[in-house]
Every structure is written in structure tokens, then in C-alpha cells.
Amino acid sequence: MKPSIFNVVPSAMFLVLLFLLTPKLASSAEVGDTISEHLQKQLNIPKGQVGVVDFFASWCLSCAKEIPDIKKMIKQDSQQKMYVVGIDVDENLDEGIAFQKELSIDFPVINDVNQTIISEFAPIAMPALYYIIDNKIVGKHIGAVPNIDEKIKNDLQQLGVKT
Amino acid sequence: MKQLMKKKLLLIICCCACSACSTVPVKSWQKGTLASETMRFGGPNSMIKKFDEHIYTSKESSKGGGGVSGGGCGCN
């Protein structure tokens, strides 16, 4: 008995349907991962400093709450042991810049309008904060963290960095 | 009869596969639109929400509990 097209096609279609219905989960950057060369160039973290990469957006209220604490933390870092770089993931550049001006952000910020940088990190929630030493992710905080400045200080001490 | 059933099954599967249903979850950094004021009940006009709250209070003799904390970023 020759296999009819109506025997093969439904099976194939069913497999395609199963594939389409399977959620595609983006793999997020984990502690221990090394960031890509392209990302290294973009972040431009100086050697000998701990890179603190903070992802934020104008629509993220928790991000807005954390930024003043991060600014306070930078002022306390007299020895400049850490290099904070903000990644604004607003798709609208004007909104992002207005938000940065509103919060008087004085640390370097990359406007990730195309959301390519955050896609590489793929955090499951916002705000997201990553520690990077020698292009390697050594720690992260996902979601809102109260008193993030104290948390960063403790984390850096645990990483052996005295601020 | 059997052929007809198979054709119908094929048609249903085709319709399901080509439907607009998306299973791709919204990423945490793509929630800017969801967090906008226009996505709230009543939209950006706060008077509509107040009016709705007034009706609720009048009918239920109770108020509050209608707010949502956070900015829609999935962090709270």
C-alpha cells in the first residue's frame, strides 16, 4: 500500500504545529559567562575596574528608584574601583534622553534603542544589574532591590573589591 | 468518507498553524508599550478611572484595591 499524501502531510503538519507552539526561551546570561568581543567594545569597561552594568528604561518605575542610589554609590567610590555603565533600553530615544535628564544621570549611558545589548544579556526582569570583571559576569541582580547601593557595596566586598 | 475526514483534519491543522496566535513570550525589556498609560483601564484619562471607582464605591460601600504597583516591568 502506497503512502497517500494525506497520511504523511497531517503528521508533518502536526510536528510543525508542535514546534510553533513550543515557547522559545531566550537563554539569559549567567554568572561565569564571558561577554562577546562586540559587547566588550561597546561597554568599554576599563581594565582593573569592576564593571557594573545597569539596565533601565523610562517606563520601569523600579529602575527610576534605583538610579539615585547608584549615583550615591558612585560618589562614595573615591578610589574608582568600579565603572558603572547604564544601558537605557527605551525604544524611543527622545523618551530615554528625557528620562536620563530628569534623573540627572551622570554616569556613562548607552542608548540601546535597538535592544541588541539587552538581548545578549536577556534578563528575565527589569531592572537588571550585572557585575563584570575581565569580561566575565561575576554577579547579577534581577528585579527591584531596595537600597541597591548597600547591596552593591556588600557584593563588591565579597568579590574582594574594597571601595 | 475517510478521505473527507482527512481533508478536514488537514484544513484544521493548517488553520491552527497559520493563525495569529503567538506563543513567543514578551521579554522583560519589551514591556514599554504594556506599561504605557494607554494600556490602563480608562486610558490616559484619569477621570474615567475616578468615575469607575466612584461607581464601585457607591455600589459596594467599599473602596481601594484597584491599583497596581510597579511599572509593568515584571519586577514587583
pLDDT in tens, chain A (163 residues): 555 666 676 677 777 766 666 655 557 888 989 999 999 999 999 988 999 999 999 999 899 999 999 999 999 888 888 999 999 999 999 999 999 999 999 999 999 999 999 999 999 999 999 999 999 999 999 998 899 999 999 998 888 876 6
Residues from chain B that touch A26, judged by Cβ atoms under 8 A, are 27
How many other CB atoms sit within 10 Å of the CB of residue A74?
17
Closest by Cβ to A91, choosing from B32, B73, B75: B32
Q: What is the pLDDT of residue B76?
A: 46
Q: Where are the domains of chain B?
A: 29-63
Residues from chain A that touch B3, judged by Cβ atoms under 8 A, are 6
Q: What is the pLDDT of residue A7?
A: 67
Distance from CA of B58 to the nearest CA of A (A): 32
β-pairing verdict for A82-88 and A50-56: parallel
User: In this structure, which topology does domain A25-158 adopt according to CATH?
Assistant: Glutaredoxin (3.40.30)
Q: What is the pLDDT of residue A77?
A: 86
C-alpha grid cell for residue B5?
475526514
Distance from CA of B59 to the nearest CA of A (A): 33
**pTM of the predicted model, to two decimals?**
0.73
- Put simply, the answer to whether B3 touches A6 (Cβ < 8 Å) is yes
- What's the mean pLDDT in B51-72? 75
- Put simply, the answer to whether A61 touches B71 (Cβ < 8 Å) is yes
Averaged pLDDT of chain B: 76
Closest by Cβ to A26, choosing from B7, B13, B27: B27
**pLDDT at residue B72 greater than cutoff 50:** no
- Put simply, the answer to whether B17 touches A17 (Cβ < 8 Å) is yes
Instruction: Say whether A162 sits in a helix, a strand or coil.
Output: coil
Q: Where are the domains of chain A?
A: 25-158
Confidence of residue B50 (pLDDT cuts 50, 70, 90): confident
Task: Give the separation between CA A139 and CA B57, rounded to whole angstroms.
Answer: 48
